[in-house]
Amino acid sequence: MNRTGIVRDERYIDHITDDYHPENPNRLRSIYGMLQGGDMEGFYTEIPPRLATREELEMVHLPSYIDLIASTAGQPARRLDPDTVTSPKSYEAACLAVGGVLEAIEAVLQGKLDNAFALVRPPGHHAERNRAMGFCIFNNIAVGAKYAIQTHGLERVLIIDWDVHHGNGTQNTFYEAPEVLYFSTHRYGFFYPGTGAPAEAGTGKGEGFTVNVPMSLGCGDAEYGNIFLHVLKPIALSYKPQLILVSAGFDTYSRDPLGGMSMTEKGYARLINITMDIAQTTCGGKIIIALEGGYDLDGLATSVKAVLRELRGDSVIDIAECQRNERNGYGKIEGELGKLKGYHKRHWEKL
């Protein structure tokens, strides 16, 4: 079994959103409740989070923006954009979310753990350098990548983002940076946030190190599995990351109220199974996952459970069955795969 860590803390629940807001404290309550089950409790190493420092937040965010979020501490609810709100303890939770990801990265890079899942909120991948967006306050995964590069001297970090929404904030942070390869699968076209076209591939020294894969409405396990096998895997093996970070959104789940996709628990386990195979080949298995979206509470808990079991080495999937389903579903997306490969082959010859 792998040594798998988890970040969890009741203070993340103190980030209170509007009544009926999709990104609400019940998301973590459902996950934390699942972790107390007999088949989960005691199998994972707890990673205590800490508050991210001002200097760490400034790796990604402007000082004036950090000041704005800090000014909400102890104050009544404040709306940062149409989707993103704060409550008296949101600033603390947001700093803990970043700090939780950083502590998970530290534990894995120091060799104390093989991999880890930071079960934190608020989520982060929409947060820009100077503004909140789409439920996100600070960009947890982007600060994590910067931290790994600046503190540990890494030169190649792979960020995989499988949330149903494109991680505009993460992309913009590293758009000119070859030290981070950003790979995103997401719905695109008249769908929030409106970014993530294949043509968005990076600029300057970062050209080719942003890989966007728009997904059609209704895509599920076979489609995502094929994308990971035939697009992500050859690119990642060429890039040879020293660390893999995952922005894991579970709003592609079949019953999610926002996503419109058809992923299942086994589908998510298969995605992390492919990612672990890449990690074993390139970086000694070093993977840190940060929670992003996912708004069907039961599906969120069961999907996170499937991923955690895969990380631990206690798989819930039959690999042969997954491969058979992927072969059977290949024809459905063969045309799109061909277009994607053709576009990105100029940067990644192994496609």
Element housing 250 (H / E): none
Please pick, among 126, 165, 230, 344, the residue that the annotation labels catalytic: 126
Residue 13: CB atoms within 10 Å: 18
Active-site residue flag, 347 = no
DSSP 219-232: -BHHHHHHHIIIII
8 Å CB contact between 53 and 118: no
Helices (H), the chain: 26-35, 54-57, 63-70, 90-109, 140-152, 168-173, 221-227, 233-239, 265-282, 297-312, 319-344
Element housing 287 (H / E): strand 287-291
Strand pairing category for 243-248 and 45-46: unpaired
Q: How far apart are CA 171 and CA 200, in angstroms?
A: 9
Radius of gyration (C-alpha) of the chain in whole angstroms: 18
- Retrieve residue 344's tokens: 């990105």
Strand pairing category for 84-86 and 78-81: antiparallel
118: phi then psi, degrees, rounded to nearest 5? -90, 105
Question: Any residues with CB less than 8 A from the CB of 4 and at least 6 apart, and which?
Answer: 43, 44, 45, 113, 114, 115, 116, 117, 308, 311, 312
Residue closest to 344 by CA, chosen among 232, 244, 246: 232
Q: How far apart are CA 141 and CA 159, in angstroms?
A: 8
Active site residues: 126
